């Protein structure tokens, strides 16, 4: 079908612009399962996504979209790059979510034509809705949604819909009681076994 793609979840992990690399056995399976549950939850709450159905342990069928070369980031709690950028201590809770858009590609001339003002307004509103849904979803699992990165795409009818993946590779998730990090920071900062963290996230989702 020309209007569909298969997304295959690999085990590769990278950090610091590809400087740090590893293959982490079964990471792709965990991310596919976690992303599937999240896309289904968002769909039930009227968020349009590219997700059609799960195909296998590592594959999902999605709607074909043209990915907007933008990384849309929301931060509820200070962590990662924002701490370095503005000298904040990790863990500071923001009064309101911080919304950031960054260009995936440094070519500014290209970037400037990426989205219209109206599309940007839609992206912001849709992203803040997604943040509220994800925050509430994770809180029920005793997880704090610290921040996340999402990507959008344009379908054949020109609708902008959520694409890519939503997983512990792209979200920071901390246990509510202990602040234990269960996301990709385990790999980025050598904090502990990554698969253990992702497995804990998935098992909380399945036991809900």
Judged by the rule CB under 6 A, the positions of this chain that interact with ligand TMP are 73, 80-82, 147-149, 170-172
CB of 38 to ligand ASP, least distance (A): 17
Q: Which two tokens stand for residue 144?
A: 């704090």
Residue in 188, 192, 199, 204 binding ligand ASP, rule: CB under 6 A: 188
Q: Which is nearer to ligand TMP, 60 or 171 (CB)?
A: 171
- Please identify which residue in the block is written with the tokens 């931060």: 75
d(CA 163, CA 58): 16
Using CB under 6 A as the binding criterion, the count of chain residues that bind ligand ASP stands at 7
SS3 54: strand
State the binding partner of 18 from ligand ASP, ligand TMP, none, CB within 5 to 8 A by kind. ligand ASP
User: Which of ligand ASP, ligand TMP, none lies near 188, with the C-beta cut-off 5 to 8 A by kind?
Assistant: ligand ASP
Return d(Cα 119, Cα 102) in angstroms, integer.
15
Handedness of CA 163, 168, 170, 172 (dihedral sign): positive
Question: Which of the choices ligand TMP, ligand ASP, none does residue 16 contact, using the CB cut-off of 5 to 8 A by kind?
Answer: ligand ASP
Say whether residue 199 binds ligand ASP (CB under 6 A). no
- Segment (H or E) for 161: strand 160-163
Q: Which long-range contacts (CB under 8 A, 24 or more apart) does 78-86 make?
A: 79/146, 79/147, 79/172, 79/185, 80/147, 80/172, 80/185, 82/147
Residue 19 CB, shortest distance to ligand ASP, in Å, is 7
Nearer to ligand TMP by Cβ, of 126 and 169: the residue is 169
Binding string, residues 10-29; x marks residues near ligand ASP by CB under 6 A? ----xxxxx-----------
Interface with ligand ASP by CB under 6 A: which residues? 14-18, 184, 188
């Amino acid at each position: 079908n020309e209007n569909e793609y298969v997304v295959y979840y690999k085990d590769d992990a990278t950090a610091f612009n590809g400087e740090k690399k590893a293959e982490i056995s079964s990471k792709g399976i965990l991310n596919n399962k976690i992303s599937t549950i999240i896309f289904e939850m968002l769909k039930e709450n009227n968020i349009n996504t590219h997700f059609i159905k799960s195909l296998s342990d590592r594959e999902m069928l999605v709607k074909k979209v043209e990915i907007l070369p933008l990384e849309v980031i929301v931060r509820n709690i200070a962590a990662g790059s924002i701490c370095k950028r503005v000298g904040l201590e990790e863990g500071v809770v923001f009064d309101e979510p911080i919304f950031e858009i960054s260009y995936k590609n440094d070519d500014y001339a290209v970037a400037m034509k990426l989205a219209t003002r109206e599309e940007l307004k839609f992206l912001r509103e849709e992203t803040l809705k997604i943040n509220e849904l994800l925050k509430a979803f994770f809180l029920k699992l005793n997880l704090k949604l610290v921040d996340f990165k999402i990507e959008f795409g344009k379908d054949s009818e020109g609708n902008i819909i959520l694409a890519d993946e939503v997983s512990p590779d792209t979200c920071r998730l901390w246990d509510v009681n202990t602040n234990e990090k269960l996301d990709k920071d385990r790999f980025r900062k050598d904090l502990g076994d990554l698969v253990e963290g992702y497995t804990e996230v998935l098992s909380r989702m399945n036991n809900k």
